[in-house]
């Protein structure tokens, strides 16, 4: 899943969407900033086998090598079938100005509602997890035998999150609820993996084009309050997603409990040190 990134609430939104999709949550892998490793949420992610990536030019090459090793070690061995990536590499408000300056300097699309995506992690994921195929079928050997093995990535799901009035939610809003209820829209487009180019230059162009399309989708969304309809349709018909309130209460109670336990552990170590 390739997702635009506006605020910490994007992760909560995706979690809610994926909870509605059967076993997906158990079979997915997240890529997230290394700072989350030091939270109660990070401990769970470490056990789950997610990857924490460190930002910055000084760490970029090393992090891509570590990502490749991590995927080879954990993705297939833990029967992962999904991987979530924010190709922009940070929040929109933090990266927009830098992205626009880079676009102007290199004659690239000038974007407002998204930023130019970074290629590194996307390329590593595709090349590491792509099944060896010929003409859309597993290369070599019996089909039934190949189906029993992990086929690798089969689809790219381009996901665009839209908040009304371009006012994204952060994690504090989710926890404290100090904003009025609002409807978050999530728009999906699906591409067969065989249609995604693997050469670096072609993949870069393909990835940039997806974010140019996101820019157009969000421009339409902010003007009309809805994503544009599919060709041949008069309007987009959304599917409302509802979740069980009892289940939500239990999950949030567990989250608060784990946060309190994490605080107690840190407080204990602080007292021991000082």
Domain boundaries, the chain: 2-242, 244-274
User: Is the pLDDT assigned to residue 185 strictly greater than 50?
Assistant: yes
| Angle, CA 153 vertex, CA 81 and CA 23 arms, to 5° | 20
User: Is the pLDDT assigned to residue 101 strictly greater than 90?
Assistant: yes
Query: What pLDDT score does 146 carry?
Result: 44
User: Is the pLDDT assigned to residue 137 strictly greater than 60?
Assistant: no
Sign of CA dihedral 32, 36, 38, 40: negative
User: Is the pLDDT assigned to residue 207 strictly greater than 90?
Assistant: yes
Residue indicated by tokens 């309007």: 235
Give the model's confidence band at 144: pLDDT under 50 very low, under 70 low, under 90 confident, else very high.
very low
Q: Which position has the higher pLDDT, 43 or 163?
A: 163
**Closest of 211, 236, 234 to residue 226, by C-alpha:** 236
Residue indicated by tokens 């799901």: 157
Per-residue pLDDT tens digits for 37-53: 887 778 888 888 999 98
């Amino acid at each position: 899943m390739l997702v635009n990134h506006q605020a910490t609430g994007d992760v909560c939104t995706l979690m809610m969407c994926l909870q509605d999709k059967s076993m997906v949550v158990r079979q997915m892998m997240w890529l997230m900033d290394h700072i989350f490793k030091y939270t109660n949420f990070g401990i769970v992610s470490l056990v789950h086998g997610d990857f924490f990536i460190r930002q910055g030019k000084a760490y970029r090459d090393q992090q891509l090598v570590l990502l490749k090793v991590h995927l080879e070690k954990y993705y297939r061995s833990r029967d992962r079938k999904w991987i979530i990536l924010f190709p922009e590499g940070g929040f929109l408000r933090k990266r927009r100005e830098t992205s626009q300056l880079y676009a102007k300097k290199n004659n690239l699309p000038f974007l407002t509602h998204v930023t130019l995506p970074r290629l590194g992690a996307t390329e590593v994921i595709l090349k590491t997890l792509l099944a060896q195929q010929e003409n859309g079928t597993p290369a070599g050997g019996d089909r039934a035998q190949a189906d029993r093995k992990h086929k690798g990535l089969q689809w790219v799901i381009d996901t665009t999150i839209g908040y009304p009035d371009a006012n994204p939610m952060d994690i504090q809003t989710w926890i404290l609820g100090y904003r009025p209820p609002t409807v978050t829209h999530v728009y999906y487009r699906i591409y067969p993996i065989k249609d995604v180019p693997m050469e670096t230059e072609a993949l870069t162009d393909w990835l940039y084009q997806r974010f140019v399309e996101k820019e157009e989708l969000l421009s339409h969304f902010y003007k009309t309050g809805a994503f544009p309809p599919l060709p041949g349709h008069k309007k987009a018909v959304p599917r409302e997603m509802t979740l069980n309130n009892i289940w939500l209460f239990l999950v949030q109670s567990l989250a608060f409990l784990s946060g309190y336990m994490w605080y107690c552990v840190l407080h204990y170590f602080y007292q021991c040190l000082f």
